Amino acid sequence: MDAALRELSYAQAIQEAMAIAMDMDDRVFLMGEDIGVYGGAFQVTGDLVERYGADRVIDTPISELGGAGVAVGAAVTGMRPIFEFQFSDFATLGMEQIVNQAAKMRFMLGGEVSVPVVMRFPAGSGTGAAAQHSQSLEAWLGHVPGLKVIQPATPHDAKGMLLAAVADPDPVMIFEHKLLYKMKGHVPEGHYTVPIGKAEIRREGRDLTIVATSIMVQKALDAAAALEGEGIDIEVVDLRTIRPLDRQTVIDSVKKTSRLLCVYEAVKTLGIGAEVSALVAESEAFDYLDAPIVRLGGAETPIPYNPDLEKATVPQVPDIIAAARDLVKGVR
């Protein structure tokens, strides 16, 4: 098979990135619940424990707060931990160490330390796991200065952004949508990085900018393809990083298309779409707008168990198609 066309799943891409990081740097190690022989709840660490040993692929007790703190302490004293929260919902148990310690330690100590810790959060709905195992909490962490928060949307970016995160001197939080783990895509061999803080234009278009995050990027692309036949030409911006935000790419795109639709899975109110809308409203792109800004986000409800209700909680492709069509045709 041609190496240039090599495809991996999103989960395999992350696993390959972690292996490369451990090969390149003895300081890199993995910590988390059931990441050893079990292979991780979503098989992301897989057989890494067999290849790198239990001293570098460390099963922790079910202690998210303590485990996150151990990772922070190891990071400030010279190691490069990658800590897996089994589900992003469990960030709630580790918030003290993430928000009060990891994010602030360098600042509080006047720059005397850095905190090069990477934390991974399997996130999102769609697995029938109900309200406590399906949330999208990235905006919570995106609100905290000192953290960097990323949401890779493709296998290529999952690998490249994780390698960028490991090399980063500051704490990087990676939100990985669980439904993306099986997504296949082109992943180059060997070491490469995808920069943190840079959005990517996934599809160029003239009529409407969709700014999407994580799994919503693919849904936005599917919607854009469906609307092509109606003569609607959509630009899709994959935000990739929510802190620090790539404001310029969003502003430039909206100046070109004059319409903005934000699509994200997290609860709509006070979410990333509000921030993106505001940054456009505050920028020179405001004068270019031909229609109100529209947000499509998660419903104002916990994630339900029933599969039909669960699907109805978060934006789906038909929702995006309808909203985009209305925006471009001036219905809104």
Partner 1 sequence: MAGASKAVVDSRANLPFVYRQYSPEQLREVLHKMYLIRRFEEGAEECYMRGLIHGTMHLSIGQEASAMGVCMPLAADDQITSTHRGHGHCIAKGAEVSRMFAEFFGKTTGYCKGRGGSMHIADVAKGNLGANGIVAGGIPIAVGAALSSKMMKTGKVVVSFFGDGANNEGAFHEALNMAAIWKLPVIFVCENNGYGMSTSTARSTAVKNIAERAAAYSMPGVIVNGNILSEVAEASFKAVERARAGEGPTLIESKTYRHRGHSKSDRNRYRTKEEIEDWMENRDPITLFETELRDFGFIDDQGIQAIRDAVAREIADGIEFAKASPAPEIAALQDYVYTEQA
Q: Return the DSSP state at 259.
A: -
Q: How far is the CB of 168 from partner 1 (least distance, A)?
A: 8
Give whichever of 1 and 77 is closer to partner 1, judged by the CB atom.
77
Give whichever of 35 and 75 is closer to partner 1, judged by the CB atom.
75
Cis amide linkage into residue 244, ω under 30° from 0:
yes
Contact between residue 11 and residue 187 where contact means Cβ atoms under 8 Å apart = no
- Name beta bridge partners: 302: none
Cα–Cα distance measured from residue 116 to residue 82, given in angstroms and rounded to the nearest whole number:
9
Instruction: Please give the structure tokens belonging to residue 177.
Output: 């949508």
Give whichever of 109 and 225 is closer to partner 1, judged by the CB atom.
109
Q: Is the dihedral of CA 200, 90, 58, 37 positive or negative?
A: negative
Q: Rule CB under 8 A: which residues touch partner 1?
A: 27, 29, 55, 60-61, 63, 65-79, 81, 96-97, 100-101, 105-114, 145-146, 148, 169-170
Contact between residue 121 and residue 89 where contact means Cβ atoms under 8 Å apart = no
Q: How far is the CB of 140 from partner 1 (least distance, A)?
A: 18
Beta pairing class for 200-203 and 234-238: antiparallel
Contact between residue 61 and residue 32 where contact means Cβ atoms under 8 Å apart = no
Give whichever of 113 and 312 is closer to partner 1, judged by the CB atom.
113
Task: Determine whether 101 is exposed, middle or buried from the number of CB atoms within 10 Å of its CB (0-12, 13-18, 19+).
Answer: buried
Q: How far is the CB of 62 from partner 1 (least distance, A)?
A: 9
Q: Return the DSSP state at 18.
A: H
Q: How far is the CB of 50 from partner 1 (least distance, A)?
A: 19
Residue 249 vs residues 6, 155, 176, 201: alpha-carbon distances, Å: 29, 22, 22, 8
Q: How far is the CB of 80 from partner 1 (least distance, A)?
A: 10
Torsion of CA 56, 61, 64, 69, to 10 degrees: -60
Instruction: Please give the structure tokens belonging to residue 5.
Output: 């066309």
- Residues annotated as catalytic are 64, 133
Q: In degrees rounded to 5, what are phi and psi of residue 66?
A: -65, -40
Give whichever of 65 and 291 is closer to partner 1, judged by the CB atom.
65
Cα–Cα distance measured from residue 159 to residue 145, given in angstroms and rounded to the nearest whole number:
25
Q: How far is the CB of 45 from partner 1 (least distance, A)?
A: 18
Give whichever of 111 and 231 is closer to partner 1, judged by the CB atom.
111
